[in-house]
Structure formats: structure tokens, C-alpha cells
Structure 1
Amino acid sequence: MTWGRDLKDPLYFVPVKYKLTLTFVLISVVSLGIGGLVSYQTTRDALKDQVLKDLFLTGQVQVQHVTSFIDALKKRTEDFSSDGFIRDAAFRLQTSSHPALQRELSRHLRVNKMGIVPEFFETSVAGRDGLILASSDPARVGLDASKNPWFVGGRSTIFMGEIRTGEHAGEGRPSLEISAPLTDKETHEFVGVIVNRIKPEVLSEVVQAGIPLPGEGRDIHQVNRTLDSYILDREGRFITSTHRLKYKDAFLQKSHMSTRAFIDGHGIMASYRGREVVYVSVRLPAQGWTLVTELETDEAFRPVLLLRQRPFFVGCALVFITMVLLFFPLNFMIGPILRLRSAAKMIEEGKFDVSVHVDSRDEIGELSRAFNRMSFGLFERAKKLEEYTGELKKREREVRYEKDLLNAVIQCMSDGVIFIDLNGNISLFNSAAEGAWIISRDGAEGLQARFAAEVDGCFRKQMEGMAAGNKKGCRKVLHARGRIYENTCTYVHNPSGKALGIVMVSRDITERKQMEDRLLHQEKMMVVGELSAAIAHELNNPLAAMSMFAQMLIDECTGETPYREHAEVIMRNTQVCKKIIRGLLDYAARSPVKRQPFNINRCLKEAVDLYRPLLGKKDHEVVFSLDEGIREFMGDEEQIRQVFVNMIMNAMQAMESRGVLTLKTSCNGASGIEVEIQDSGPGIPSENIDKIFDPFFSTKPSGIGTGLGLSISKKVIESHGGTIRVKSETGNGTRFIITLPAVEKAETVGA
């Protein structure tokens, strides 16, 4: 272990030739700085204590002034309450109506009472019930003050409330209220309350200019350019002005003082102007207010500023003298070290054939000789390293070319390719795989993918099989992001047979599956159509004979006989069979689509009109939401109307009674048309959604439907180049969405 290996030079960034000088300078400056700081802090603390004592005495005097001023106003209010005329008038105004007496009492309050005390801007008298009987402000006569604090508190004693903003009971302006009870001169019974409203700004004059007695003149004088005093209410809001804020700007504004400042009562803080101040807060216990006296610290600690500046000049002088005395000795000692540093920088730049000559036998000479031996060794090794580097770069270029070629081939593949290592991380994928599966960067763990549960299961099986030594892959057909993929998983091994991971090739077979489904459906429909036409043709003649003979039996059976009823049953069932046969013929027929322009909204309304009587009978409500701006549609109006009729009939049968049928039309881009037919019925079960357009599929009771309406409707819409979709939830009704494309001119096409 080498001594000092774990120690770090605090001046490692300073050149050696300046380090010794700087060390002496730092020692001198630190010693002088610590001494000056201790001296400055001691003097400052002593001065701070003295300033706090002076501010506390000033605050106590201010509190006495404010208290004396408020006591004088209370005394004035008490004198007003003992006025015999006021008490007699208050009593008489509550026993009977005396308009003249009321006016005289209001004049007396305004001229003889409020006029002698300029601090009062309103004097009022309230009766026992809180109604104002008279006031220096005639507009307040008759107001109900029974719930005002000055009335409740002034019923039994002299009361002074909080400063009120003027928003209570329509008082008009902020005020400080002092009230006193009025009693009968003889019985001393309570007859009312007299209240004097005081302008809050007079408190600012008292705090800023001294406290003259009420009614006397006052002279606002400035005591100190940074000394300030003001009063805060219980919530810490200004209720007086300050030296820097006028009354209208400061009144009821939230102050800067924190709860801790209220509790401590003195200290140093940031004032409302943002300046640092020494402050003392004194409570006015009777009112719950706080009087704050503050002085800026720059003004308070001005005497100690020179004590802080002198050590700085002395330190500068010491630094200069030390640098002059040590400059020449250090220059001769540091020269060899500087030459070694220059040689080391040359080696750092790659110039290894460099040496340093120092004619000395001391430690610096030994250091230079060791440096020269190191330089020669580095030069020999650099030559060999350059040869090895050239060979490695050549092999790296070959490997990079093969990798780029392989990556280009994989990226050009239309099938998705993903390689997953033994830890489940994606190491390689192409753009086709990125489009098929969701692949994202997940921090230090590499690429992660979100696959379907079947793919995850396949990967887990492959991982387990790899651990067991199995080399057989798996193949899965999966649905993801609206597409169908055929995924093949295969093990990947290195030349020595060690498993490296799994590669998955994902082929998009969506179009192939859709083509297979369409071909299968077309073959199925062709067979159903041919079978339907054959059955309808074979059954039509027997049914016609049965219908004819049943009608003859009905005509020959007169009166009420069982044979007539039997014949009518045969006739009804024959008609049902004919209806089914007509449906079969319509389904099997390939009637042409005769395109002519017509209005979809009108066609939809005509389909509804066919069922108006039935809609009213079943108490069904029809709600139209038709886009009147859609263009005319080019198509076979009769076939489209039949589709609407089928849809409306299905909706009515689904709702049974008391339902809402909503019909909506709108434009669907590029002048296409979208028609929505929605009912409030019980909805279609999820297991039947994919079957409702199949021929002969029906959930209605036997005899009500043939199961061909929706199948025929779908054929009609598709023959017009459109689509029909259904959205339904059990219990929330069913919505059919018909989308018809734009057709520019009339034409006839096969169905």
C-alpha cells in the first residue's frame, strides 16, 4: 500500500508553479476572513438586539396610542348613549308613529353628535327589534339590523366589532362600528342600541402620525425613511396604510407575514416590499389585531458595514505581497516539472518517440529517467498495436458487409420476421413484423412486443421444448389488429448445436382467407337460390289447387258450420305457404337494378307511412333525424323502399309495444349516403349477430316471418354497391347502418 494513495490534492486543478503561492495566500485569507467574520457577526448580533429593543419600545408606544384612541371613541359612544333626548325619542318612536320626531332625531344625530367627532361618518339608533329608527344617513332608516354584530353585542355593553367591508346589509362602505345600549331614564329598561360607524382610514393616521384625541388636529410626520408601522387583522390582512402603500391599495390585502412571524413576534423577514427588514409585532388583545413595526436591515446594520469591508482590503494586500516574494524561487524549482508535463502531452497526442533531459540527481532527475524508459516502451507497443488494429478493421468491414446484406434481405421480405433470444427479448425484426405486432423499446431490457395470448403460449411452449431438447417448431393462425396471420415458430442453433432462441415468421393471409370465405358464401348462396327456385316451382301448383278448393268450400258452406272453419284454416295456411314461396322466388330471382334519381328522405318517410296505423296502435314513437342537404341517390327506388319496409317491420316486431324508432340520414364522404334505423327493443343476442343475414334464419315465432327479409335486404343493398351493418347489445336495442355509394348517372345493372 502506497502512503497517500487515497488522499486527493484539493488544488489538483492549479499549476504547480502557482500552488505554493496560492497555499500561502489561502492560509492568510482564511485566517483573516474567519477573524473578520467572527468580529462582524458578533457586532451585528449585538446591534440586532439593540434594534429589536428599540422597535419593541416603539411598538408598545404605538399600541398605547391606538388603544387610547379607541378608548376615546368608545367614551364618545357611551356619552351619546346617555343623551336624554335620544333615549326618550327612541322609546316614543317604538310606541307610536312620530314622523316629525324621527326627522328631528336624525337631524340631532347628524348635527349635534356626528358633527363633533370627525372620525364618525354615520350615527344610527336601532330599536329593540333591530329596526333602525333614526340615522344621520336617511337611507338607512327602516333597515333591519337585528343580525348585525354591533346590534347583538351592543344590547348589554359597549361593543366594538371587526372592520366590516361594507358588503353586509347594504352598508355601502367599509367601517369600524362601536355600539352602546340605550336604556329608559326612569326604569332603565333596554330600549335600543346606538351605533357609530368609524372610517377605518383614521387608524392609518393614528399609526403613522401619533395619536391625538378624537376631534383634535393631527400632523403626519416622517420619523425614518425605512421605519414603518402598520396594523394587521386576525387573518393577517392590512387594515391601515404604510409608508409605501396608500390606504386604498393596502386595505384588507393579504400581508407577507407567515403564521410563524405572528407567533415569534420579532426577528428578520422579507417585508411586503420584498426588502429584508428587522421587525417586532405587538398584539392588541382587545381587538385581536397585530401592530408590526419594521426597519430595513440596510438601515439598521449600517454601522457594521465598514467592519465587513476592511478585512477585504487587508487580504488583497497580503495576497499581492506573498505572490511577489515567492515568484522567483518557485520558477526555478518548477521548470523541469513543466518540461515533463509538455512531454506527457506529446505522448497523449500519439508522439511516443519523445524524451526529457534533466541534469539532476534529485527526485526530479529520477522521475525524468523513468519517464524516458516508459516512452520507449510505449513506442514499441504502439507499433504492434497499429498492425493488430489494421487486421481487425479489415475483418470488421467483412462482418459488417455480411450483416448489412442479411438485414437488407430480411427487411425486403413481405413476411414478418422476429427473433427472440433465450431471455424473451427481441433481438431482430423487420418492418413487416413491426406492422403486424406492437414492438417498442423498453429501457435497458431491449425491445418488447405485445402479442396475442396464443402467440405468448406458443413461445412459452417453444421455450419449454427447447429446454427439454425438442427441436420441433409450431404453427398457429392468429387474429391481431384486424388482420389474420399464419405464424411459424422455429428453433435457432449455432454451429455447435447450442440453442440461441426462436425465430417467428408471420405471414399475412387476410386477403386469402377473405377470398376463401367469399367463394364459400357465393357457392352456398347459389345452391340455396337454385334449391329455393326448384322448391317454389314444385309447391306453387299444389298450393294453388288447395287454395282454390278451400275457397270453394268456404263459399258453399253457409252459416256457422265446423267445415267452414276448417276450410278457413286451410285457406290461411295456404296463404302463409304462398308468402314463403314468394320470398323464395324473390331471393332466387336476379331482378335488374334500374337506377333513377330519387330522394332517400322521401323514400324513408313513405316506408314509415305504410305502418302509421300499426305504429299508433302499438304506441310506437318515430323520431326522424334527416339530413336535408343530402343529394339524390341513383338507384332502384322500389327495391330500396322494400328494404326500408323490411327494416321498419323488424324493428316494430322487436319492440312489441311502447318503443322508440329512430330514423337518421347523413352524408358519408364523397357524397355517399348513410341511413341508420334504430329501435329500443331487447337487442340481438351476441351468438345470433353473425346469423341474422343467413337465409331462413329467424328468431320470431312460427308463422310470423320467413327468415328471408334481412337476407333479401342485404342482396338489394349489395346490388347497389352498398353495405349493411348491425350493432346491437342485449337490452339496449338494435341499430342497422346502411351505406350507399354515390352513383353519377342512371344505369341498369344486374342484381
Structure 2
Amino acid sequence: MTEQDEKLSRALIDIGKELAAITDLDHLLTRILKISREVFHFENAIIRLVKKDGVTLESVASYGYSRAAEDETIRLGQGVMGKAAQDGKPYLLDDLSQAADYIPGIDDARSEMAVPLIARERVIGVFNVESPRPAAFSSDDCDALTILAGQAAIAIDNANLYADLCRVSREKENLNHLNNQILASVSLGIYTIDRSLTITSWNDGMAKMSHIPIEKALGKPLLEMFPTLEEEGIAGRLRRVLETGQAESLRLLHRGHAGQNRLQKRKLTPLKEKGRTTGAVVVVEDVTEFEQLLAQTVQSEKLAELGRMSAGIAHEINNPLSVISFANQVLLNEYNYQADQLELLERIDVEVERLQNLTSELLSYSSAKQEDRRDVTDLNATVGEVLALMRYELNKKQISAQTDLVELPAVLVDKNRFKQIFINLILNAVQAMDPQGKIMISSRLSDDGKVHVSFCDNGPGIPDKLKNRIFKPFFTSRKDGSGTGLGLYLCRKIIKDYQGELSVSDAPGGGCCFDVVLPGYDNKYGKD
């Protein structure tokens, strides 16, 4: 080996070490071209890599070539570079005038040398140089360039692998960030445990429910944090889920960390890895407020029914009492009675008056309104609160609830009463639809300044002949007899108390829509 060969060999070793340390592909390609200019004194060079389609070479770096030559599309097997890529071996052409398939590169090119870039026994591209002189490159040049190409190919492949690793790492980081956002945004409490019942994750919803921050919960034994879980039966259920790998759900009255009793629904799901149960995911839904509102709605229906019954009884009693009173007055005015007889007639008059007062009180009770706590209310926000309360009922039948809410002026209503109305309308839709149905809740402002909130479903709809009857008291279309027939009657009655309207229509594509209309409230002047 000559001294010149030794210098070149050492230079190639140093170049290989340098290229192996570069992980940025653009920087790497620029450095390879610079080495070809400074070490090999090539007047030009171009690097083409195999595209993802596996049949086309694309230019990724060059010097001494025109833009048109760089943009030229070359397929594997086409031209000198295409053959080098397809065959995986170098090509050295001393006279391009004899090459019929030469693809123009530099101006007045007479000779060309192309060597494949091979990494992990796979051709990933081509390193190509040209010259305007015939026979400008020797076999020694081809051998040296082949060595450089081998080092460059490994470095390029490593740079691509590093870029892929960074991309996957970013995607994983973004996915973890998205998962964390979802867990932080849901109103449900979610936590995980391992097989020893040690807490391994604890979302913000769980922290709010339990009043225990994440940092104090992680790594702690679950039963140490919540000893009541044993007597409530949750601990036993968790052990069974870990043992059988089968999900379970339960509903219970749970005494929280602060000593308050909360009505909760819990879903216990096995956490598996490669088919083996490694822990459990616990989803906690606090339904205390929902149950309270539901109880208020039921109680309102019962009171309304009792009021109507009272009114009916009072009217039925008043009619004969009026006849008795009139007849008694006639008897008192037309005849002379003995003292004992007159006493009986006067006693009849007094008792009739007493009964009339009693029926008046019954009628007064039946028409009495609830305490009206009007306040400036955002109906869009009320819809959001109701949907949060209704999430379990919707999920139980896999009902999809979507919203299309626009900015609305406030309304002056009793917020709790309208929560009951919205719950009633959503429950009616849920009960009418099959599983996996859809509810669309939308709001709009009409030209006359009135606020509209619509509840549309894709259920079976309401026949035209029943649309005028559904708002009458004690009318129900439920075949199972579960309805009282007072829900829609009370909803419309309450809305009318606020100068509003409740109407029903057919939904586009099937189902029905209930439209709640209320006058807007002028905050500035405190009037409609």
C-alpha cells in the first residue's frame, strides 16, 4: 500500500467516525457532499435516495447540478444511477457518448461514476459524480467512493432511524398529553390500582371528589386511604376483578374522606397486559345531585297530581253544597219553625259554610305555585350542567348527546325548575329511543328576540293524532305503565308561568323535537 493509499485509508476511517456521530439528516448530507469536494476533489456530486414507493430515486443533496437535473425523476433500472440502485453495484462509464440511456446531469458530461448506498443489506440510494472529461475516473476512485458510500449509507440509515425514533417519541408524548387532558377534563373520577391494591394513577376528577391531591394518592395502598371500602364491599369486588379478569359495576352510598355520604356508581375494569390482569381501572361517577333533581321532579309530579285530585274533589263537593245551601236559605225564609227546628236549619247553614271554606282551601292549595326563585340564567350553561348529570343515563343506553349552542341572552327564570324541565325532556327521549340513539340539543335566538332551546331525537317520533294530547295531565303513551302522564303537562305549565312556550314537531329524518321558547332578559334595563 502506497503512502497516498494509507492517507486515504486513514481519512476514510476518520470520515466514517465523523459521519456516524451526525444524527441530523440535512447536516449529514451537507457534510457528505463537502467531503466529496474536499477529500476527493470531485467537481460535482449528487445523492439520490429511494422513495417510499421503492421504485423511484429522488434527489436529496447535490452541488454542480442544475435545478432541472435535480428535479429529474429517475426510476430504478433507468440510466446509470437507476442501474446502480437496481443492481446494487457500482457503475463506471468512461464515455457517455456510447451510453444510449444516459440521463443528462451536468453540462457536456463525458464520464460518470455511480455507486449504490447500501445499509443493512438494502439499497437506500445512489452516490453519483460526473465529469466533462472522458475517462475522468479510475477504478481506484470507484473503490474509494464505494467505501465512502458505504459509510454514508450507514450514517444516512441511522439518521433516518433516529428521525423515526424522535417522531414516534413525539407521537407518544402527544398521545400521553392527550390522554392526560382527557383524564383531567372528564367529570368522572378515574384511578388505577395494581394487583396489591396500590394506587398507580389518580386523575383530577378523583382528586376533586375525594379531596385528596394526586401527589398524596399515588403509591399509597387504596384500603389505607379508604378503609370503608372493605365494609362497602368494593374491596372484595376489586379482588374478584383481579382474580377473574371480568369487569363489574355497582351502585352504593359511599362515605367520603370528608365524612359525607355520596351516592356513586362505580365501574371496575381489569387492566391487562399480554392477556394477564396486572391491575384494575376504577371509574367513579357521583350521581348525588342527579338523584336529588330526579327526586324533586318526581315529587313535583306527585304534588301536581295531588293538587289536581284535590281540585276535582273540591269541585265535586261544591256543587251539591251549593244546592244544599240554597235550599236551606229558602226553608229559613218561607216557614215559621219551632225553636228546635230552627236550630237544626241554622246548624245546616253553618256546616255548609264550613265545608265551603274547606273546599276553598283545597282549591287554593291545588293552584298554589312553588316558591319562585327567579334569577338571571344562562340556558346554555344549564344544558351543560344537565348533560353532566345525565351522563350515566345516556351511557347506559349508549345514547349520543350532541350540542349546537349559540350565544344567547340571559333569561329570568328559576334555574332549578328549568333543570327539571330539561331532565324530563331528555329522559323522555332516552326512554323512547333504542340503544345507540342520538339526541341533538341546540339553541338559537329568533328575530323577535326570543330564546329557543330544542331537544331533538331520532326515536320513533310522536303520531300527529297524539301531539295535542301529550301535554294533557295523566296522558301517557308508555305501554309499561311507568309514566304518570304529568311530566310534559308540568313542563308546559312551568314554562307558561314565565311567558314561554313548549311545542313539539317532527325531527328531520325521523324522531321528534321539543322546542322551549322564552323571552330574553335585558340585563342593562332589567326587563324583557
Q: TM-score, normalised by structure 2?
A: 0.32
Q: TM-score, normalised by structure 1?
A: 0.23
